């Protein structure tokens, strides 16, 4: 594992660059609806962690590259575990929006 791999594990900004370059990828925000209303990364889809079992309604293809985030990375880690148990083969925990340095949408 190289230095870039270590950075990707810890830094949502690096992961988002990979997301942008990945064909058919989905940026999945598993925070609550209230948190997402405060701020969200443009282009993300919100499915709160407690509703993760409904993911197939929005993302039926289980091979879709999923870049999963929350506020700090803890909930997104649990979401990735759940997604893998549901058969999603390409889900990655990219950490938390708390470290995000780009533009956000509000409201």
Q: Are 8 and 67 within 8 A, CB to CB?
A: no
Q: Which residue has the tokens 């289980």?
A: 62
- Name the pairing type of β-strands 91-96 and 26-29: unpaired
Distance spanning both ends of the chain, measured CA to CA: 39
**HSE-CB for 20 with a 13 A CA cutoff:** 8
Q: Are 55 and 47 within 8 A, CB to CB?
A: yes
Which residues form the catalytic set?
A: 70
């Amino acid at each position: 594992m190289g230095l870039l791999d270590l950075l990707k594990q810890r830094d949502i900004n690096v992961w988002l660059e990979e997301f942008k370059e990945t064909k058919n990828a989905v940026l999945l925000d598993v925070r609550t609806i209230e948190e997402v209303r405060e701020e969200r990364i443009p282009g993300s889809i919100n499915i709160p962690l407690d509703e993760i079992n409904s993911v197939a309604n929005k993302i039926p293809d289980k091979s879709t590259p999923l870049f999963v985030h929350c506020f700090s990375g803890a909930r997104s880690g649990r979401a990735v575990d759940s997604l893998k148990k549901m058969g999603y083969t390409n889900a990655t925990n990219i950490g938390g929006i708390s470290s995000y340095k780009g533009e956000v949408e509000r409201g």
